[in-house]
Amino acid sequence: MIKIVKPTLDNIIDIQRVLKPYVEEGIILNRDEDEIAMNIRSYQLVFDDKQPIAVGALHIYSPFLGEIRSLAVNEKYQGQGIGKKLVNSLLEEAKSLKLKEVLVLTYKKEFFEKLGFNEIQKEEIPEKKIWADCIKCKFFPNCNEIALITYL
């Protein structure tokens, strides 16, 4: 049975396991154990029985703006609606926190457009994001990711 849970610190290893192939590919930023621990409350983790199969996080930048990041579905489970369910669950959490807009930086433009996100210009990305995250990325500053936003 597929279920979405709020992970505990015991699940850091599960989060890392799901993200690993995409971190190695360079499409998801590597975050060490301490960074995941500090932000554990931002994550949602999907299990198929006891197996972790997908993860995503809602990071908060300001009283208005959140970001979906570290979103990944295990390759074997892709194309079954799990990514969509997870993003919708993260957006529900964003709404319940009273966030007003949620940003994503991604190579999967069409996937997010189907979920109601619209492309924005890179200049509209908050500076906090650039300096906290982008600067750590091996593709910075020549990044081909697309920024999209949805208003809640």
Ligand X SMILES: CC(C)(COP(=O)(O)OP(=O)(O)OC[C@H]1O[C@@H](n2cnc3c(N)ncnc32)[C@H](O)[C@@H]1OP(=O)(O)O)[C@@H](O)C(=O)NCCC(=O)NCCS
Q: In the complex, which residues of this chain contact ligand X (CB under 6 A)?
A: 22, 27-28, 71-73, 78-84, 104, 106-108, 110-111, 114
Nearest distance from residue 19's CB to ligand X, in Å?
9
Of 12 and 103, which CB lies nearer to ligand X in the complex structure? 103
The answer to whether the bond into 141 is cis (omega within 30° of 0) is yes
Nearest distance from residue 143's CB to ligand X, in Å?
13
CA 56 to chain centre: 4
Residue nearest to ligand X (CB): 83
Provide the pairing of β-strand 65-73 with 101-106.
parallel
Nearest distance from residue 73's CB to ligand X, in Å?
4
Of 9 and 128, which CB lies nearer to ligand X in the complex structure? 128
Of 8 and 80, which CB lies nearer to ligand X in the complex structure? 80
Of 34 and 110, which CB lies nearer to ligand X in the complex structure? 110
Nearest distance from residue 114's CB to ligand X, in Å?
5
Please check whether residue 7 is in contact with residue 45, taking contact to mean a CB–CB distance below 8 angstroms.
Answer: yes
Nearest distance from residue 75's CB to ligand X, in Å?
8
The residue written with tokens 């300001």 in the block is: 62
CA 63 to chain centre: 18
Of 63 and 79, which CB lies nearer to ligand X in the complex structure? 79
Q: Which residues lie closer than 8 Å to 55 by C-beta, 6 or more apart?
A: 14, 15, 18, 19, 43, 44, 45, 46, 70, 71, 72, 86
